[in-house]
Amino acid sequence: MLKERVATASVLLICLLLVAFLFNELAFFVFIAGVSMLAAYEWAGLVGYANKFARISYGLAFLGILVFSRSIFPEALVPILLFSICFWFLAFICILSYPHSGRIWNRRPLLFMLGLIVIYPTSYALLYLYNSDYFAYRFLGLFLFVGAADTGAYFAGKSFGRHKLAESVSPNKTWEGVLGGLISCTLISLIYCYLFHYLMNKPFPLLFALCCPLLVSTFSVTGDLFESMLKRVRGIKDSGDILPGHGGILDRIDGIVAALPVYLLSTVFFL
């Protein structure tokens, strides 16, 4: 299992490097649109639709909303990210109150709307990010930070995990894992900020280096727990099987969609 995870992660890293440095704007849009549609397709299955036509229709509807909103509201990044942050605070409360909040997640219309709230801000923000300063650096930083938090939490939890984080939602998550993820993310952040300082000839962003890892690791684990809660309600293990060792697209990006708003706002204000 670990070998599969490492192999898949290595392939994904190579793909991200190609996307960051070689893709033009059209290719980048196609990439983000494709990943977003796959995530929406999996979300439709996660909320209880086994019919492939319904799931494909949901993915196409999501793409239509994304394209339309980007053309009508091209500069709505900050309000969308702030709205997303508010949602993840509410999601955290739902996680804490599970299983008492479990009955909420059997309402398909609500869950369909939540799919847009979960996936859309990330898709919009990444498309917006393409034309920003230091695009490749900021784009790769998101995945490095979340990946470091996830990897650090995995190994720290496996090695030292004793105190359960949210046993009713995800029995394997521990506070020791969260701390390991924070430490790992902070180390990556310091390296990232040093490279930014050295390569871009900018002042060392100390506030970003110290605050961003805390925010990213906290929101990342919230996104992970939120998806785990929905999968527990539906009685499934993974959202899909497209990524060997990782499950589906949603299983891989659950931390990213939650952490992106705080990460990107941190880069906007502190880098």
Q: What is the pLDDT of residues 5-26, one digit of tens each?
A: 677 778 888 899 999 999 999 9
Mean pLDDT, rounded, of the chain: 87
Amino acid identity, position 59: G
Average pLDDT of the residues in 227-251: 77
Residue 156 dihedral angles phi and psi, to the nearest 5°:
-65, -40
Q: Please give the pLDDT value at position 1.
A: 57
pTM: 0.91
* Cα separation, 146 vs 203, whole angstroms: 24
Of 253, 265, 8, the closest CA to residue 123 belongs to: 253
pLDDT band at 153 (very low <50, low <70, confident <90, very high): very high
Residue 119's CB: how many other CB atoms inside 10 A?
Answer: 23
Q: Please give the pLDDT value at position 198.
A: 85
* Cα separation, 144 vs 139, whole angstroms: 9
DSSP string covering 56-85 = HHHHHHHHHHHHHHHHH-TT-HHHHHHHHH
